[in-house]
Structure 1
């Protein structure tokens, strides 16, 4: 009987925002506009970092990759979410759910690593300006980006396999907007302590390690900036780090709230909103954050739009 129960769930039902039936049309419009802004904004950043001669530097090479990552990251979640607003069938197959989670985890790991790489780039640029072209050569930058993209693939594939190897029985209702680890573990039967332990290990391996690299980089950066002779020089140096620090704060802050809060205080509706914050809101504002205080990016955007 137990074995039969384990094999009955072949698909999950994503609840999403179906608890608000009268708001489906409005929510669809809001999320569609946000998604289009993400595609257009990050697409423009990719275009200018590839075509504008003034942006052919390591910093903008990383920024172009980061914008492409944001498009991929959001596209794993949003198309299915938009489809569910107009469909009575909100089911997602077992395999599709596994694929969505796997890509979500891989791209999330890539974002952590790429943010760490971008912090290291700022450290070298400010603390070792004379050796910057030598250290951050194009070959080394490509190697850093490739590692960021593929570094988490084996681990996250293994983690996804481990989660979907769990027996699922009883309810197949996934009260979330996409296939994520916490709501999936709630539906699993039996002991999930080993899965929770592996999640902690992976978090330390990628999230904590990348956070420490970012923290170390900016600790090293602060001292040389404060020693600059003029306030204008200090402001200019700090402004090159401001955009990156803002993105780091938004991404890690929202992710930490949802994954590190005590289970007793976590509500499923709150988790839905917070998960959309770091999967949609942050990618939507990234192009604005990186162009708002950057005259070079603004000039490149104007040039591209005029063409």
Structure 2
């Protein structure tokens, strides 16, 4: 019996049932996820096509959009397929893949946001030395480092989590495989690993967040010493977009991963997880496009180029 259970699939209980309200909420979530993918894909396309956006700042932004597209694609298609077909099972390999990609992308985004804060610090506090302090070489190094650190965390946690025997109920009270939820089903002592996993999550969040706080403290000090009101407003407008993204991402992630287990609720965790894996990726391109004149200019130029030939042909 134990051998059979060890090889059987897990069951994802999901986020929705088949009431009228939940069908409406499912439609909303699916629409938001679609908008997220389209918005971030458009951001990637704009940055790739417009040479004026070929700077370290927008390269980092393109990596953020890429991570967001992949993050939504890691969780939403499986959730939607389970809801529409009623088949909620997921194999150990599928579960491990979700854990790996989710942690790779979430961890990578955490470090990438820290790199973006450093970029803003250099641009505002040392504009004349920007190309030296934020060179393309450094930009590529911090980007690669973000991906590698996220992947290392994802691989380690996925491998160790799936190494435990699961002999209890195989129902995961979530809409995707998440390591803490999966560990609740383990029938071996897992307190040491769960503590190590908690410490790892705290470090993956607090270290980049601390670097962001330091960067923006230095930026604020520099802005307060600016004599030009126009320059001050421009600096604050440039940073406000990034701060909004940071607040959304870290606020939700800290709520899920930095609370003690005794105070955690599965329903609350699912709702917050849905927020920062589905809704936040949709908001990122909106925040950066609506508050960024260069992105809006690139969009207008691309639209003009796309529409003009058609009008001339007509």
Give me the TM-score of the superposition, normalised by structure 2: 0.92
Q: Are positions 1:123 and 2:135 aligned together? A: no
8 A contact 1:159–1:198 mirrored in 2: no
The runs of 5 or more residues in structure 2 that have no matched partner are: 307-314
Q: How much has 1:290 moved relative to structure 2?
A: 0.5
Q: Are positions 1:305 and 2:303 aligned together? A: yes
Deviations 1:25-69 (A, max 9, x none): 434422221121111111111111111122122111111111111
Question: CA separation of 1:166/1:84 partners in 2, compared to 1, >3 Å: closer, same or farther?
Answer: same
Q: State how far apart, in whole Å, the 2-side matches of 1:159 and 1:262 are.
A: 19
1:286 alignment counterpart: 284
Match 2:263 to one of 255, 265, 269: 265
2:43 alignment counterpart: 45
How many residue pairs are counted as aligned between the two chains? 305
Pairwise CA RMSD: 1.7
Q: Are positions 1:61 and 2:28 aligned together? A: no
Q: State how far apart, in whole Å, the 2-side matches of 1:74 and 1:171 are.
A: 28
Q: Are positions 1:230 and 2:242 aligned together? A: no
Q: How much has 1:108 moved relative to structure 2?
A: 0.9
Q: State how far apart, in whole Å, the 2-side matches of 1:224 and 1:101 are.
A: 41
Question: CA separation of 1:275/1:157 partners in 2, compared to 1, >3 Å: closer, same or farther?
Answer: same
Give me the TM-score of the superposition, normalised by structure 1: 0.94
Which contiguous aligned blocks of 4+ residues in structure 1 show a shift greater than 4 angstroms? none
Within a 5 Å distance, the mapping from 1:1-307 to structure 2 comes to 4=2, 7-8=5-6, 10-23=8-21, 25-306=23-304, 307=306
The runs of 5 or more residues in structure 1 that have no matched partner are: none
2:309 alignment counterpart: none
8 A contact 1:5–1:170 mirrored in 2: no
Q: State how far apart, in whole Å, the 1-side matches of 2:168 and 2:19 are.
A: 25
DSSP-derived class of the 1:13 partner? strand
Q: State how far apart, in whole Å, the 2-side matches of 1:162 and 1:127 are.
A: 43
Q: State how far apart, in whole Å, the 2-side matches of 1:259 and 1:15 are.
A: 20
DSSP-derived class of the 1:40 partner? helix
